[in-house]
Chain A
Amino acid sequence: MKIIKDKVAKLSFVALLITMTAAMFYAPTASAHGEKSQAAFMRMRTIHWFDLNWSKEEVPVNDTMTISGKFLVFKGWPETVDKPEVSFLNIGIPGPVFIRAGSWIGGQLVPRSVSLELGEVYEFKVLLKARRPGDWHVHSMMNVQGGGPIIGPGKWTTITGSMGDFVNPVTTLTGQTIDLETYNLENTYFWHAVWFAVAFAWLLFWIKRPMFVPRHIAVSTGKASTLISAGDKKIGMVFAVGTMVIVAASMGTTNSKYPVTTPLQAGLLRGMKTYQMPEATVSVKIDDATYRVPGRAMQMTMTVTNNGDTSVRLGEFNTAGVRFLDPEVHEDETAYPDDLLAEEGLTVSDNSPLAPGETRTIEVTASDAAWEVYRLADLIYDPDSRFAGLLFFWDENGSRQLVTVDAPLIPSFI
Chain B
Amino acid sequence: MSASQSAVRSRAEAVQVSRTFDWMILFTLFTAVLGGYHIHYMLTGGDWDFWTDWKDRRLWVTVAPIVSITFPAAVQACLWWRYRLPIGATLSVVALMLGEWINRYMNFWGWTYFPVNFVFPSNLIPGAIVLDVILMLGNSMTLTAVVGGLAYGLLFYPGNWPVIAPLHVPVEYNGMMMTLADLQGYHYVRTGTPEYIRMVEKGTLRTFGKDVAPVSAFFSGFVSIIIYFLWHFFGKWFAKTDFISDEAS
Contact = CB atoms under 8 A, between A and B. Distances in A.
Nearest to A163: B113
Contacts of B184: 180
Given A262-B177, A263-B57, A240 B189 contact: no
Nearest to B15: A210
A111 B123 contact: no
Contact of B18 (A131, A187, A214): A214
Interface of A is mostly: mixed
B155 A203 contact: no
Shortest 8 CB-CB distances between A and B: which pairs? A143-B194, A261-B168, A88-B194, A240-B133, A95-B112, A113-B196, A227-B84, A195-B125
Contacts of B187: 96, 99-101, 168, 180
Interface string B55-97: 1110000000000000000000000011111110011011001
B90 A173 contact: no
B182 interface: yes
B136 A258 contact: no
Interface string B122-137: 0101101110111011
A159 B162 CA distance: 36
Given A132-B113, A163-B113, A202-B87, A248 B158 contact: yes
B114 to A, nearest CB: 6
Interface stretch (B20-28, B35-43, B227-235): B20-28
A199 interface: yes
B244 to A, nearest CB: 20
A227 B183 CA distance: 52
Contacts of A253: 162
Nearest to B127: A243
A233 B86 CA distance: 11
A1 interface: no
Contact of A184 (B112, B114, B163, B198): B163
Interface core residue of A131, A149, A261 (most chain B CB under 10 Å): A261
A168 B187 CA distance: 9
B163 A187 contact: yes
Contacts of A260: 169-170
Interface core residue of A86, A200, A212, A251 (most chain B CB under 10 Å): A212
A47 to B, nearest CB: 14
Contacts of A203: 87, 90-91, 94
A96 B188 contact: yes
A265 B177 contact: yes
Interface string A172-190: 1110101011111101100
Given A170-B180, A174-B169, 16 more contacts: A91-B191, A143-B196, A170-B171, A173-B169, A180-B180, A187-B163, A192-B163, A203-B91, A211-B83, A212-B18, A213-B18, A215-B85, A219-B81, A243-B130, A247-B158, A263-B210
B87 A218 contact: no
Given A88-B194, A199-B129, A200-B94, A215 B169 contact: no
B177 to A, nearest CB: 7
A29 to B, nearest CB: 11
A210 B188 contact: no
A216 interface: yes
A184 B177 contact: no
Interface string B210-227: 100000000000000000
Contacts of A218: 84
Interface residues of A, number: 93
Interface core residue of A101, A180, A250 (most chain B CB under 10 Å): A180
Contacts of A233: 136-137
Contacts of A168: 187
B195 A112 contact: yes
A187 B87 CA distance: 27
Contacts of B46: none
B166 A184 contact: yes
B169 A258 contact: yes
A178 B117 CA distance: 13
A258 B170 contact: no
Interface in A32-63: 33
A239 interface: yes
22 contacts: A95-B114, A96-B189, A99-B187, A99-B188, A173-B170, A182-B115, A182-B117, A196-B97, A199-B128, A202-B90, A206-B87, A207-B22, A207-B87, A212-B18, A246-B126, A250-B162, A251-B161, A253-B162, A254-B162, A263-B57, A264-B179, A266-B201
B178 A111 contact: yes
B118 to A, nearest CB: 9
A111 B182 contact: yes
Contacts of A191: 123, 162-163
A255 interface: yes
B172 A173 contact: yes
A305 to B, nearest CB: 41
Contact of A264 (B87, B116, B163, B181): B181
Given A95-B189, A173-B172, A254 B161 contact: yes
B15 to A, nearest CB: 7
Contacts of A149: 191-192, 194
Contacts of B114: 95-96
Nearest to B156: A247
A214 B19 CA distance: 10
A212 B25 contact: yes
Interface core residue of B91, B188, B189 (most chain A CB under 10 Å): B189
B53 interface: yes
B180 A172 contact: yes
A266 to B, nearest CB: 5
A38 to B, nearest CB: 13
